[in-house]
């Protein structure tokens, strides 16, 4: 179990405990830097604050990013593509752009981690994904974000085609 010191405190963190701590939590908007955990982009300071209990003012984004990459989580920097704003890059890499040091992905592949969830999108970027439309709308309002579309990602081929169960 890796031991790290953040803001003068020692922590024993492992990737599985970080993943578990984030379940049921929605990522905040990405402003510049992110780490990818459970197929979602997260602000590094949000993650480190959640798993350590530290105040975000106690450490920098770079310290948080370094600690999380030591645990094996990929990190990246939000890139503005065309007219997009960096904060629009939340959960999935835009089609035709590289993810966190990965190859270009299609929109269908970018939505795969959100099967069965409601998503809000701007351009080709997933802003937020949650189990209910009310949670998506609440997140958008809380973070002063506007989406161009909101929909539920189908959880089966039958749901997409509208075929009746056999």
pLDDT tens-digit readout, 48-79: 999 999 999 999 999 999 999 999 999 998 76
Specify whether the CB–CB gap between 127 and 140 falls below 8 A: yes
| Final residue of a structural domain among 77, 109, 138 | 77
Task: Provide the pLDDT for residue 79.
Answer: 62
Percent of the chain with pLDDT over 70: 77
Q: Is 65 within a domain?
A: yes
Q: 114-150: per-residue pLDDT in tens?
A: 889 999 998 878 889 999 999 999 999 999 999 999 9
Pair (69, 17) in one structural domain:
yes
Q: Residues near 56 by Cβ (< 8 Å), separated by ≥ 6? A: 45, 46, 49
Pair (68, 112) in one structural domain:
no
Q: Which residue has the tokens 């506007």?
A: 146
DSSP 164: P
Nearest 5°: the CA angle 50, 56, 60 is 115
Q: Is 164 within a domain?
A: no
Q: Is 166 within a domain?
A: no
pTM of the model: 0.67
Question: How is residue 109 written in tokens?
Answer: 């592949």
Q: Is 140 within a domain?
A: yes
Pair (2, 54) in one structural domain:
yes
Distance in angstroms (rounded) separating the CA atoms of residues 94 and 105: 7
How many structural domains are present in the chain? Answer: 2
Pair (71, 100) in one structural domain:
no
CA atoms within 13 A on the CB side of 89: 26
Q: Residues near 152 by Cβ (< 8 Å), separated by ≥ 6? A: 116, 117, 118, 119, 133
For 132, the domain range is 84-157
Q: Is 89 within a domain?
A: yes
Q: Is 7 within a domain?
A: yes
| Final residue of a structural domain among 59, 77, 95 | 77
Q: pLDDT band at 157, cuts 50/70/90?
A: low
| Final residue of a structural domain among 56, 77, 98 | 77
Pair (57, 124) in one structural domain:
no
Nearest 5°: the CA angle 44, 137, 20 is 40
Pair (125, 141) in one structural domain:
yes
Pair (52, 115) in one structural domain:
no
Question: Three-state SS across 78-101?
Answer: CCCCCCCCHHHCCCCCCCCCECCC
């Amino acid at each position: 179990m890796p031991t790290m010191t953040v803001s003068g405190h020692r922590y024993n963190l492992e990737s599985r405990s970080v993943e578990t701590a984030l379940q049921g939590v929605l990522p905040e908007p990405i402003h510049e830097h992110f780490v990818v955990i459970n197929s979602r982009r997260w602000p590094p300071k949000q993650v480190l604050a959640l798993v350590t209990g530290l105040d975000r003012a106690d450490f920098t984004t770079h310290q948080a990013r370094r600690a999380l990459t030591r645990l094996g989580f990929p990190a990246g920097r939000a890139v503005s593509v065309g007219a997009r704003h960096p904060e629009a890059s939340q959960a999935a890499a835009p089609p035709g752009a590289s993810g966190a040091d990965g190859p270009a992905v299609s929109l269908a592949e970018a939505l795969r981690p959100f099967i069965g969830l409601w998503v809000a999108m701007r351009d080709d970027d997933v802003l937020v994904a949650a189990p209910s439309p009310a949670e998506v709308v609440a997140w958008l309002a809380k973070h002063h974000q506007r989406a161009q579309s909101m929909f539920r990602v189908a959880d089966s081929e039958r749901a997409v085609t509208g075929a009746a169960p056999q």
